[in-house]
Amino acid sequence: MSSSTGGGSTADASTVRDVARLAGVSPATVSRVIGGTYPVAKTTRAKVLKAMRELDYVVNAHARVLGGASNKTVAFVVNDVTGAFYAHIARGVEEQASAEGRLCLLCTTHGDPQRVIAVVEAMREQRADAVIVVGGALEDRAYQERMTHFATALDRAGSRLVLVGRPPLGEGVPATVVEYDNEGGAFAMTTHLLTSGHRRVAYLGAVPGLSTSTERVAGFRRAHKMLGVEPDPGLIVPGEFTRSFGYRATRELLASKKEFTAVFAGTDMVAAGAIQAFREAGLRVPEDVSVAGYDDIPFAMDLYPALTTVAVPLEEMGRDAVRLALYRDEFAGRQHKVFGTHVVIRDSVRAPGSAREAREDRGDSEARKPRKRPLKA
């Protein structure tokens, strides 16, 4: 089918003329009603809408974009939708987008920073009302400059770049930022472990060049410094935010014979992998080693033992991301929101040695027998 010079097909143009003929108006007036970019008298608009219903006319989305109208879409750009962290932010985004009469379009990037840029560009061309990018940012100057460029381009097109769980792009960049106290959460959890008596804490999941990981490691180090405990660099293990990494890294730590009494996992998924590895090695959590996570995704309380972790208000962040973007004029000057985090204490953390002391107090003869330090084996 050939295209007309106006960007729509011949069939599309005929349909517009049919609506115009039935409504008794010009095709240009019909286009204005469809696009919503020019004021049209209420009575005229009503006649056009009535004709469209009678003819069962479906608006051509591509023509609307070319005409400069929003397509009433909120794009949600995420690394991996199967991850619970992303899924619960997505739920908040979808619920709020639906309440605002917007279609939520899911775009996955599979961890490719260049695909994030490609998706943002595509959504600019489609004139999405908002493009919501979720998860840690690549700490690369060229990448940040490209994202800054697209934030400006989206703003010029009447759209909005929204960064969720990412730091701002810089002063004056027209983007909405919804983040949480990432470093503060890691600081609080590490403080909880250290004040519980642990002095050798392993951190699993230091992802190189990822803002989320950089902030969590910074909080881990800051807590050690405040309490006068020197962290062992060999216990800060680089890796990924996955269960398989947590399992593999824990097995390697045990094989290395490094001493530690607690593990702070970069995410709850990493913690789940660590708990599995300890169980297979015959070690009990928290009696022999404590484990803490980050994110407080729903399955954290279903682990055995229930996981002590850092809670992040995921769904609330998703809802606010949509609200702030769509009503940015109303929320002018409040386009950067930081949510608080807090430690959720469950069953996976205990003071080192407390289980043995309790058994000895009860006169448990087995507890009085010399035992090999399990984490040096």
The runs of H, that is alpha helices, within 180-327 are: 182-195, 211-226, 243-256, 268-280, 314-326
- Tell whether 319 and 307 lie within a shared domain: no
Tell me, yes or no, whether 294 lies in a domain: yes
Tell me, yes or no, whether 197 lies in a domain: yes
Tell me, yes or no, whether 1 lies in a domain: no
- Tell whether 268 and 371 lie within a shared domain: yes
Tell me, yes or no, whether 108 lies in a domain: yes
- Tell whether 244 and 363 lie within a shared domain: yes
- Tell whether 324 and 353 lie within a shared domain: no
Give residue 10's pLDDT: 37
User: What digits encode the pLDDT tens for the residues 255-278?
Assistant: 999 999 999 999 999 999 999 999
d(CA 1, CA 70): 25
Is residue 216 within 8 A of residue 222, CB to CB? The reply is: no
- Tell whether 125 and 19 lie within a shared domain: no
Domain of residue 35 covers 10-66
Count how many domains the chain has.
3
> Residues 179-183: what's their mean pLDDT?
97
CATH code where residue 159 lies: 3.40.50.2300
Which range has the top average pLDDT, 140-149, 158-167, 176-185, 346-355? 176-185
d(CA 124, CA 97): 18
Cis preceding linkage at 286, omega within 30: yes
Give residue 12's pLDDT: 43
d(CA 150, CA 318): 21
- Tell whether 367 and 239 lie within a shared domain: yes
- Tell whether 257 and 134 lie within a shared domain: no
User: What digits encode the pLDDT tens for the residues 207-264?
Assistant: 999 999 999 999 999 999 999 999 999 999 999 999 999 999 999 999 999 999 999 9
Neighbours of 284 (CB within 10 A): 12
d(CA 90, CA 324): 16
d(CA 357, CA 367): 8
Confidence at 357, pLDDT banded by 50, 70, 90: low
d(CA 198, CA 230): 12
- DSSP character for 337? E
Give the residue among 57, 59, 97, 60 at the shortest CA–CA distance from 76. Answer: 97
> Which class for 5: exposed (0-12), middle (13-18), buried (19 or more C-beta within 10 A)?
exposed
> Residues 32-52: what's their mean pLDDT?
78
- Tell whether 51 and 89 lie within a shared domain: no
pTM for the structure as a whole: 0.75
Give residue 6's pLDDT: 37
Give residue 358's pLDDT: 44
